[in-house]
């Protein structure tokens, strides 16, 4: 009897594993692969069980040069001094949304140390009311070093060598959020006041980008968008917690589109996702008490 039980338990566990990872429930596989592949820590889990071709098919990778570009001519400059702060709730997540009605209030400070700064340190240093995290980091031990391209006041402050085209979001001299896949020469042509590299694009010219099901998986997220009136939307969603599992890219689209965004782009997420308002962190970063050091932030005064 004991011998049968000894073999029965592993057999049941193997059946459950095969059923979930290779069985008829496709949604489980899609969610598992997307969630694993959009984290820096757990990509290996997806790669152990599935081929690279299958993973790429599930994720639906888009090359930078294939990304559409925003048309800033449709944006108005209907600015005022208003700032709105709201809590966002969905089926799987809790989050926070800030709307800054005057985009001229925004700044894009960079860390002047390889270690980086906490977001509230950025806001204190630059006397800001609040803000969100922005770029990813290139080195886990030196999180003040930016991953990707950044462009400020007419020049590159960081460059990315991963291909000729870069998925860029930033504000031009007319304070309009310009998004698209650009070469370095084309980045200069956009006359950005400041810009960053990250992906994916969420909304472009009033239309939602089409994603594969469960794209991005459930994770903490940060995003920025702009309405037709020129108002800026800053969004942070908590994740990897009992009370907030996280959001997919489609979830971000839904929130931002419902709040009037006609252009929007995803920013660095995971444990980096942080929002500060009036000097305090208002969300719950996924690493708990170990808030993450950042290479830069999008702040407003």
Tokens read off for 219: 């994770």
Q: What does the pLDDT read at residue 82? A: 98
Integer Cα distance of 56 and 94 in angstroms:
29
pTM of this prediction exceeds 0.75: yes
State phi, psi for 134 to the nearest 5 degrees.
-135, -95
Q: What does the pLDDT read at residue 20? A: 56
Integer Cα distance of 132 and 198 in angstroms:
14
Integer Cα distance of 187 and 253 in angstroms:
25
Q: What does the pLDDT read at residue 73? A: 77
- What does the pLDDT profile of the chain (301 residues) look like in tens digits? 555 566 566 665 555 555 556 666 677 777 787 778 777 667 887 788 788 877 776 766 677 778 899 988 777 889 999 999 999 999 999 999 999 999 999 999 999 999 999 999 999 999 999 999 999 999 999 999 999 999 999 999 999 988 899 999 999 999 999 999 999 999 999 999 999 999 999 999 999 999 988 999 999 999 999 999 999 999 999 999 999 999 999 999 999 999 999 999 999 999 999 999 999 999 999 987 678 999 999 999 9
User: What is residue 284's three-state secondary structure?
Assistant: coil
Q: What does the pLDDT read at residue 16? A: 56
> Is the Cα torsion angle 73, 177, 198, 273 positive or negative in sign?
negative
Q: What does the pLDDT read at residue 196? A: 98
Q: What does the pLDDT read at residue 74? A: 74
* All residues at 6 or more sequence positions from 288 whose CB lies less than 8 Å from its CB, including other chains: none
Helix ranges, the chain (H): 2-22, 26-37, 43-49, 52-59, 119-125, 184-189, 249-258
Integer Cα distance of 211 and 109 in angstroms:
31
Integer Cα distance of 235 and 260 in angstroms:
13
């Amino acid at each position: 009897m004991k011998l049968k039980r000894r073999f029965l338990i592993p057999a049941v566990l193997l059946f459950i594993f095969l059923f979930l990872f290779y069985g008829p429930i496709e949604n489980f596989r899609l969610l598992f692969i997307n969630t694993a592949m959009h984290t820096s820590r757990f990509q290996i889990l997806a790669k152990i069980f599935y081929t690279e071709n299958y993973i790429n098919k599930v994720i639906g990778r888009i090359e930078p040069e294939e990304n559409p570009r925003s048309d800033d001519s449709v944006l108005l400059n209907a600015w005022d001094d208003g700032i709105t702060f709201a809590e966002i709730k969905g089926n799987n997540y809790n989050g926070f949304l800030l709307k800054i009605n005057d985009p001229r209030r925004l700044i894009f400070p960079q860390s002047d140390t390889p270690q980086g700064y906490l977001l509230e340190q950025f806001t204190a240093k630059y006397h800001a009311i609040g803000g969100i995290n922005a770029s990813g980091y290139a080195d886990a031990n030196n999180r003040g070093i930016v991953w990707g391209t950044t462009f400020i006041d007419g020049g590159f402050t960081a460059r990315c060598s991963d291909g000729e085209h870069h998925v860029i979001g930033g504000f031009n001299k007319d304070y309009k959020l310009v998004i698209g896949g650009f070469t370095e020469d084309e980045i200069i042509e956009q006359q950005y006041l400041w810009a960053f590299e990250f992906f994916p694009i969420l909304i472009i010219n009033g239309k939602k980008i089409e994603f594969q099901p469960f794209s991005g998986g459930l994770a903490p997220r940060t995003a920025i968008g702009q309405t037709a009136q020129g108002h800026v939307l800053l969004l942070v969603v908590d994740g990897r917690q009992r009370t907030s599992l996280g959001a997919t890219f489609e979830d971000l689209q839904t929130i931002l589109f419902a709040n009037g965004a006609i252009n929007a782009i995803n920013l660095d997420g995971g444990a980096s996702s942080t929002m500060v308002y009036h000097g305090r962190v208002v969300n719950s970063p996924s690493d708990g008490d170990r808030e993450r050091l950042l290479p830069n932030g999008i702040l407003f005064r």
